[in-house]
Amino acid sequence: MDINVKQISKNYGSFQALKEVNLTIPSGKITALLGPSGSGKTTLLRMIAGLEMPDSGSIYFGDHDYTTKTVRERNVGFVFQHYALFHHMNVFENIAFGLKVRPRKDRPSKQDVQRKVNELLHLVQLNGLDRRYPAQLSGGQRQRVALARALAVEPNVLLLDEPFGALDAKVRQELRRWLRQLHEQLHVTTVFVTHDQEEALEVADQVVILNNGQIEQVGTPDEVYQHPKTKFVYQFLGRVNVFHAEVNDGRLHIGEALFAAPDENIQTKKMIGYIRPHEVRITRHNDNQKSIQVKVRRIQSYGPIVRLELERLKTNDLIEVDLSVEQANQLNVKNDEILYADLEKIKFFSDSPSVE
Ligand SMILES: Nc1ncnc2c1ncn2[C@@H]1O[C@H](COP(=O)(O)OP(=O)(O)OP(=O)(O)O)[C@@H](O)[C@H]1O
């Protein structure tokens, strides 16, 4: 069952936290809500959950308007950053909680609860820990219990708010992979909030990038990373080199490099170009018109990549270029050497804040 968010707006006093947001959350997939602090991620998640009402707009679960339905009616499962486990209950009781508090007519039998909890313990790889109390578990284990508890009620949608935010980097990494594997088995429609780009790109099927209460782009991890639609997305998702370009005689100039000007922007005098460090090609000889001359300032290895810090000869601006170790060995770059940086893969935007 897809969830459709239609023209949702939310104000807190005079502050607009969400502005006419439209979004489809596809059934059986993981959707990441990604954005900087204050961009509206949690507000959107809470609207889907039914914890918060929109000022305008509606939310559909499948073909049904759920805008005014309660949290319980929506049947959502939650996991928050800070473990919301009951400290006086052991793991078993925590996981069973949602089943045991159901109205009598819907409540499963004791044996069924036992069976269900055992299944879930197995699924979240916590067999044998059912009698432990939350205080006797690691942070990662507690989050897995929280997830099992959320899944126990077979929710329509699983909502995770920075679920791994409080854990250290290594545990986070393990849990991401684990969540992805778990999802491959269960296919529960999942929405998770994160401000960690890597986490969103690694875990989600669909990434939604929010900025100032609006959606900048929706796409697969590959689409948003490889083909950012806006300047914001370019800058938010990873490192990027920024160049100012001038339109002259129907062509775009970055120093000595020349590019075709996009037709629709032909009147614009200035544009701004973005290119990621791994998209810049380094050559010893100038083999096309899209290259600028640079001097090597610094060479640094980071595991599988070699990062070059290059200085543009004409402007002294610094450019970052990432090479694979193999490429770097082949080129055999030396400090202070003069090289060419080919900017063929650059993407241009209008150089004004409002027009893309
Ligand atoms: N109950 C509230 N009252 C007033 N302002 C609020 C309330 N809830 C959220 N806001 C404001 O709305 C904006 C969006 O908040 P939200 O929590 O959705 O952002 P976020 O993207 O999840 O940020 P973070 O990553 O910091 O949690 C913020 O500027 C926040 O201060």
Q: Does 165 sit in the ligand 1 pocket, CB within 6 Å?
A: no
From the list 205, 203, 194, the residue with the least C-alpha distance to 161 is: 194
Q: Tell me, what's the pLDDT at 338?
A: 95
From the list 312, 309, 240, the residue with the least C-alpha distance to 276 is: 240
Q: Does 12 sit in the ligand 1 pocket, CB within 6 Å?
A: yes
- CA 40 / ligand 1 centre spacing (Å): 6
Q: Name the residue of 5, 8, 11, 15 to mutate for ligand 1: max ligand atoms within 8 A of Cβ.
A: 15
Q: Does 332 sit in the ligand 1 pocket, CB within 6 Å?
A: no
Q: Tell me, what's the pLDDT at 264?
A: 58
Nearest Cα residue to atom 30 of ligand 1: 38
Q: Rounded to an integer, what distance in angstroms lies between the CA atom of residue 135 and that of residue 20?
A: 43
Q: Tell me, what's the pLDDT at 42?
A: 93
Q: Tell me, what's the pLDDT at 354?
A: 46
Q: What is the pLDDT of residues 210-233, one digit of tens each?
A: 999 999 999 999 999 989 999 999
The residue type at 5: V
Residue keyed to tokens 């400090």: 335
Interface pTM, i.e. ipTM: 0.93
- What residues contact residue 339 under an 8 Å CB cut-off, 6+ apart? 282, 283, 284, 293, 294, 295, 296, 310, 333
Q: Rounded to an integer, what distance in angstroms lies between the CA atom of residue 319 and that of residue 276?
A: 10
Taken in order of first residue, the domains within the chain and their CATH numbers are 3-236 (3.40.50.300), 241-350 (2.40.50.140)
Read off the tokens for 246. 């001038």
* Alpha-carbon dihedral angle through residues 291, 292, 293, 298, given to the nearest 10 degrees: -100
Read off the tokens for 135. 């205080």
Q: Tell me, what's the pLDDT at 79?
A: 86
Going by the DSSP 8-state scheme, the letter that residue 85 receives in this structure is -
Bridge partners (DSSP) of residue 273 are 243, 348
For residue 44, give the ligand 1 atom closest to its CA.
18
Q: Does 53 sit in the ligand 1 pocket, CB within 6 Å?
A: no
Q: What is the pLDDT of residues 252-306, one digit of tens each?
A: 999 989 998 876 556 668 889 999 999 999 999 988 899 999 999 999 998 899 9
Length of the chain: 356
Q: Tell me, what's the pLDDT at 356?
A: 41
Ranges in the chain, pLDDT < 70: 83, 263-268, 352-356
Q: Tell me, what's the pLDDT at 228?
A: 92
